[in-house]
Structure 1
Amino acid sequence: MKNQKKNDHSVRREFYGTCPRDCPDGCSWIVTVEDGVATKLRGNPDHPFTKGRLCSKMKSYLEYAQHPARLLYPMKRTGPKGAGLFKRISWDEAVHEIAAHLQSAIANYGAESVWPYQGTGNIGWIQGINSAGHRLFNALGASRHSATICSVSGHVGMSYTTGSAAGMDNEHLVHSKCIILWGTNTLVTNQHLWTFVQKGHENGAKLVVIDPVRTKTADKADLFLQIKPGTDGALALGIMQQLVQKKRHDLAYLEAKTLGFQGFKNEILSKWNLNTTAAACGLEQGEISRLADLITDSRPTGIHLGMGMQRHAFGGQACRVISCLPAVTGDFNRLGGGICYSTGETYQLNKRALCGDFLRKKPARSLVMTRLGHALLEENNPPVKALIVTAANPVVSNPDQNRVIKGLSREDLFTAVIDCFQTDTADYADILLPSTMQMEQTELGDSYSHLYLHFNEKAVTPPGECQPHTEIFRRIAKKMNLPQPELYASDEELIRNALNSDHFSMKAINLNKLRKKGWMRPGWPEPFQPFINQFQTKSGKFEFASEQAERNGHGIYPFYRSSSTASDPEDGSLVLLSPAGKMRTNSMFSNSHDHSKAGVPAFLLHPDDADQRSLKNRTLVSVWNERGSFRAQLQISDRVKPGTAVSHKGHWAKLFGGSSVNAVVEERDSDMGQGAVYHDTRVFVSDLVSSKEPYQL
């Protein structure tokens, strides 16, 4: 962007950028810099999706970048692991330590003893999880990192029916006549999508929200269905049974564009009716009938499917089932109809060239990020001896917090952590490296809610000795005397590698164009309706019957299985949900000033459940099961169903008594893709006096 001179002769510049956080919105922004200092951050008003607005978290991002606890220099551990005691060292010494430990691990245990553990603290293409460090670790032959923490089960589930999770363009919700927000608190966690939901509603669409919790989004709905956690698949099957029974399914579409519908109807749908669906989901039969009528009378229906609903034991199958709805109605063929889970698959960058897959000489094992505790404590072929943690805080974000801590406490494990702050995970590092924040680095960003690619230009000099991830990995490669020239590519070269794609949608995109306005839309047809002519399955049709799913043990037809959260046990335990809240992005911002003012983590409980346990509002409680416990402030609320409790994820454990919500979550795989099962958790709750547990903030 252009330079501007102010009256006082200082120079003001504006730089295009993009938010790197793990949020679907993928905001485009503009940073104002005066005399080398970032003075203002605002949304880009020309962006078609985010339209000049930033969320409340990012409005204070410049202040957060100047936080007094920001890491500014390389550090070396001086005390026991977990104590958080470090001393400042030089970059040369830090890189030497890392290189030496990597070389030692490889020499003694093989390259697969090295695990490059990457989180979603940055979801960008250059500094983030899509490629940062990949070239180095491919060249070393290290274990591959399987990023399963967020949405993998839904992706796999939908791959069996549509072939892709991309689905409809969320902007087309303005053309829908019925909008279903399924398992998403859009007003809080996908705020810019709400503009299109609201416009569709103003255009006459009925708004339906399906969620176990009566959220702010649910308050806006024409119809809110508060289902039992984990019963999403049952509800979808019950709705489809009603559509078929009332002969409101699109038979012509089903015969022309789908595979296996008759078998699905006979084998699966025939087992469902209003009574069985209502019983499974904890709903009234009339609620289900009303939703079925809305869908049939208000076509097309556009479904936005949230990611939280697939974080349980059978989340993949649930997404597979729900994706069948637009096929039954034929709405995949209508503008404003269909389903969107993630638009991430629409970005056809050259990931192979960017990540340097060609540098890897032989296959290597994959280690699952949500099984970190298991891998560190039980994996022995070979054992993990060197862990490089980038943009991740697994002590807070991973299941089974105590098991993760035990693994990170191993004295024979070398751990390097690259971060902006000394997180709970950083306390277990041997070497701690300070990384740049977004306005201090060059980045290429996308979104999993819209179709625009972003360029983030470096706007200011990093504070202290902070370095971008790319530079850190270049320094490690140099210290290890690795000869491959690809390991030393500049950030701009990496971007050009990524944009050098053969896919037709990328042909018009280049770095120079991206620089000029900060964003570009890949060259997909307008309107974007990826399934209007053909699905991305082997048959080219929507597959109710999937041979691939059957081979993988998931049944030829989509079906519903009840998880532990859908049952009503006699032991007095509660279903615990740990969704995202408005103040954090995963564990990020947990140490911010605004977050600190919010106080102790909350635990939402229905009045009936509180009365049964003689618990009082706003008292401190212990939440526990066989895996661990955490402390919270009780908030009695009828926004949750009886038998269900809510405590938002992301609180730093060390700021709130030494543990947080994932202390009670089991380290267990979902049905598809080895996803995490955060919402498949049962707990007990008691006041801290009766539980005899000390409480310290």
Structure 2
Amino acid sequence: MSNNFELKKRYGTCSKDCYGSCVFIGEWNDQAPEKKLLTAKPLKEHPFTSGFFCPKFNNREKLLYHPHRLKTALIRSGSKGFNSFKQISLEKAISLVSEKLTTTKNKFGPSSIVAAYYAGNSSLISHFSPIRFLGKFGATVTTGGICNEAGIHALSKMFGNYSTTNPFQINNPNNKLIVVWGSNLADRNNHAYFLVKKAIKNGSLVVVVNPIRTKLVENTTFFLQPFPGTDYLIAKYIMNKIIVSGEYDKDFLIKHVDNYKDLIAKVERIDENKIFHQTGLTGEILEAFVNILLKFQHKTLFIVGFGPQKYFYGGRNLNTIALIQIFLGNFGKLGTGFLFSQSGFNKEFIAPLMNYITCLKSYSPNISFPLVTLGPSLSSNKFKMLFIYNLNPANSLPNQTILRKSLSREDLFVVVLDMFLNETTKFADIVIPAKFDLECDDLITPYFLPGISINQGGPCPYSNCLSNYEIFQLLAKCNGWGDDILFQETQKEIFEKCVELLPKEVQQSIKLNGYYIPFAINDIPFEDLNFPTINGKIQIKQSDLELFDPKLDFLLCRNQNELYLLSPAHKSFIHSQMGEIHKEFEKDFSKIFLNPSDIELLGLVPGKEVLVTNKFNEAKFLLDQNNALKSGTALIYSGLPFINAVFKNVNYFTPEKPEESEKSGAFYSVIVKISKI
């Protein structure tokens, strides 16, 4: 075979639900019969990607052309709960789905049809363009999510925008202290980890607060390892000491914060011994933390992960951490701030794109319910048909017992759009093969780094694979809407129109570099300290430090024979994705990890099967030890990205009740018992 071909270079962006959204150049052989993407090279000049990928997705071409990728439509041939299918033509699948849509709408009404979606592919057109069809049809859609939405909601109420800080302040020379709270940067956000390591070389000190001893601890000044879910107690202690010392930023509070006096009154008196007991921290380590915060006042930056908001009161938990920075006046200055999610800076220039992609003004608003309540919502006979795309709920949603019972309903017709068979397709009646992100023109807005980047779609070698937009476009034609302007464009045309809607400087940067970033290292958002709230001030609500309901905040009432259960993602996976290319880690998902001292205390033996139980479910796991865990804490990796696994997903143990805002799940509000078999 001749090696003479024209090498086509295209900008690409990782659209997985990940902090970095790495930007790269893809090299393509469009004439190849199958393996058209040859390689992807991360951009060295991109200030966050910095010329390297995360280890999860180094070889994306292996996943793109994996032999298990779906290339034809499938129809169920066996009972729900198994991936039992036979192949059918794409035309037949679309026709069957269209007929089911019509009969369901006529018999039960359009709102009996639900679309559940999330950020498995976080590209804007992939994520939101199906709303054109779903909105015009009058279907019900899910809202919110399962990840950072509780924190976004809480911080938005406090600051008017959940994004307040330029992430490149990590490397600003004025920074002297970085507090990494509830985030495993090395495993989950390794590009930020790279920036923090650079800051350490430049003289910044680092404090880590995490129930798990992370890799970054090797380079820290000191490490606080509290019990899970007790972040707000640490914050109360710190604020008490700052107030008693009189070293809080009075001028900042007076000019820029509402209701701070009420907060001062709440934290002036605390029960220190109770805090020591409930957090599992000593007075010495907490006092050292307070002292270093005061020493580097106006030179401290917080990086806060998504862990602290994965509890029943997750949003408030996160806000109490932010209050430390507020009391110290660490906003609007070089090298300071609070990093959680920075996508809020994109809203202004993304809004016109979202309006165009969804065309919301063309139809009445959809009925909706929170995604995190999908299981109990579907248990009602109200809903008769379900579309699932960019989402694997039978892995990632809480309380799998309720969810899977709902998905197993014989009177619920389920349509899944995906690239591979997975846990969710086990409940599908029809599976339609989807294109990968790199095979579609699209735009991506990362959430740790503000800005926007693009995918210039390369050719898909599989004729039956479609983008989400193309699938719903075909359904629109079957529904008699072929002449409707909403469904006449190609995805490439939508993409090109979206680019035209961006400000000129953004357009130019995207066309020249493949991305646009609004900040440089010395740029300070809200430098004037005028926040987008009702009066320009930071809003402290009465609920921000109220005592929590002990019935819900039961983590503080753990019995001696019970353990906290954490379920972080594995370092080699993005939630339930990547199982096809990382089979070597499959055994890690069969294990429950404990600190060696807990194994000894419970009289258990590493390597043996144990029974894990709580009020939601029970399952067998292999016991293994992990010295990085706080004593009293167990760990099972989330995601379970292998469809033939014989062990249960950790979300069988997570509660049905979501975080109080119902924006995301309370995945870490979990206690289990572990016993011999």
TM range (shorter): over 0.9
Paired with 2:527 and 2:419, the residues of 1 have a C-alpha distance of: 42
Q: Aligned in 2, Cα 1:656/1:565: closer, same or farther, shift over 3 Å? A: farther
SS at match of 1:277: helix
Q: Indicate the larger mover: 330-339 or 216-225.
A: 216-225
Other-structure match for 1:527: 523
Q: Residue 291 of structure 2 aligns to which amino acid in structure 1? A: D
| TM-fit CA distance, 1:596 | 5.0
Q: CA RMSD in A?
A: 2.1
Other-structure match for 1:14: 9
Paired with 1:405 and 1:233, the residues of 2 have a C-alpha distance of: 34
Other-structure match for 1:3: none
| TM-fit CA distance, 1:158 | 1.0
Give the TM-score taking structure 1 as reference length: 0.91
Q: Residue 320 of structure 2 aligns to which amino acid in structure 1? A: V
Other-structure match for 1:331: 330
Paired with 1:93 and 1:656, the residues of 2 have a C-alpha distance of: 32
| TM-fit CA distance, 1:674 | 3.7
| TM-fit CA distance, 1:683 | 1.2
Q: Residue 106 of structure 1 aligns to which amino acid in structure 2? A: K
1:642 to 620, 631, 635: 631
Gaps of 5+ in 1: 1-6, 547-554, 691-697
SS at match of 1:41: strand
Q: Indicate the larger mover: 45-54 or 665-674.
A: 665-674
| TM-fit CA distance, 1:604 | 1.2
Other-structure match for 1:518: 514
Paired with 2:89 and 2:313, the residues of 1 have a C-alpha distance of: 48
| TM-fit CA distance, 1:462 | 3.5
Paired with 1:556 and 1:329, the residues of 2 have a C-alpha distance of: 21
Q: Aligned in 2, Cα 1:346/1:595: closer, same or farther, shift over 3 Å? A: farther
| TM-fit CA distance, 1:601 | 2.9
Other-structure match for 1:321: 320
Other-structure match for 2:153: 156
Other-structure match for 1:169: 166
Other-structure match for 2:202: 203
- The question of 1:213 aligning with 2:212 is answered yes
Kept after mapping to 2: 8 A contact 1:228/1:566? no
Number of equivalenced pairs: 662
Paired with 1:370 and 1:445, the residues of 2 have a C-alpha distance of: 23
Paired with 1:327 and 1:660, the residues of 2 have a C-alpha distance of: 39
Paired with 1:49 and 1:643, the residues of 2 have a C-alpha distance of: 37
| TM-fit CA distance, 1:58 | 1.1
Kept after mapping to 2: 8 A contact 1:40/1:62? yes
Paired with 1:405 and 1:612, the residues of 2 have a C-alpha distance of: 35
Q: Aligned in 2, Cα 1:528/1:110: closer, same or farther, shift over 3 Å? A: farther
Kept after mapping to 2: 8 A contact 1:139/1:360? yes
Paired with 2:614 and 2:460, the residues of 1 have a C-alpha distance of: 47
Q: Aligned in 2, Cα 1:236/1:167: closer, same or farther, shift over 3 Å? A: same
Kept after mapping to 2: 8 A contact 1:15/1:457? yes
Kept after mapping to 2: 8 A contact 1:335/1:529? no
SS at match of 1:97: helix
Kept after mapping to 2: 8 A contact 1:234/1:560? no
Paired with 1:642 and 1:397, the residues of 2 have a C-alpha distance of: 26
Q: Aligned in 2, Cα 1:634/1:321: closer, same or farther, shift over 3 Å? A: same
Kept after mapping to 2: 8 A contact 1:31/1:42? yes
Kept after mapping to 2: 8 A contact 1:396/1:660? yes
Q: Aligned in 2, Cα 1:497/1:531: closer, same or farther, shift over 3 Å? A: farther
Other-structure match for 1:281: 279
Other-structure match for 2:461: 462
- The question of 1:147 aligning with 2:150 is answered no
SS at match of 1:323: helix
How does 1:61-72 map onto structure 2 within 5 Å?
A: 61-72=60-71
Gaps of 5+ in 2: none
How does 1:191-590 map onto structure 2 within 5 Å?
A: 191-266=190-265, 268-272=266-270, 274-299=272-297, 300-348=299-347, 349=350, 350=352, 351-361=354-364, 363-378=365-380, 380=381, 383-482=382-481, 483-499=483-499, 506-510=503-507, 513-522=509-518, 527-530=523-526, 532-544=528-540, 546=541, 555-559=542-546, 561=548, 564=553, 566-570=555-559, 572-590=561-579
SS at match of 1:396: helix
Q: Aligned in 2, Cα 1:124/1:465: closer, same or farther, shift over 3 Å? A: same
Kept after mapping to 2: 8 A contact 1:274/1:288? no
Q: Aligned in 2, Cα 1:140/1:308: closer, same or farther, shift over 3 Å? A: same
After superposition, the C-alpha distances for 1:419-463 in whole angstroms (9 at most, x for unaligned) are 000001011111101111122221211211112311111123333
Kept after mapping to 2: 8 A contact 1:574/1:643? yes
Q: Residue 170 of structure 2 aligns to which amino acid in structure 1? A: L
Kept after mapping to 2: 8 A contact 1:205/1:298? no
Q: Residue 98 of structure 1 aligns to which amino acid in structure 2? A: V
SS at match of 1:288: helix
Q: Aligned in 2, Cα 1:8/1:62: closer, same or farther, shift over 3 Å? A: closer
Kept after mapping to 2: 8 A contact 1:124/1:446? yes
Kept after mapping to 1: 8 A contact 2:13/2:24? yes
Paired with 1:679 and 1:557, the residues of 2 have a C-alpha distance of: 20
Other-structure match for 2:614: 625
Q: Residue 244 of structure 1 aligns to which amino acid in structure 2? A: I
How does 1:125-136 map onto structure 2 within 5 Å?
A: 125-128=124-127, 131-136=128-133
Q: Aligned in 2, Cα 1:525/1:290: closer, same or farther, shift over 3 Å? A: closer
SS at match of 2:386: strand
Q: Residue 459 of structure 1 aligns to which amino acid in structure 2? A: G
Q: Aligned in 2, Cα 1:100/1:8: closer, same or farther, shift over 3 Å? A: closer
Q: Aligned in 2, Cα 1:538/1:507: closer, same or farther, shift over 3 Å? A: farther
Paired with 2:198 and 2:423, the residues of 1 have a C-alpha distance of: 42
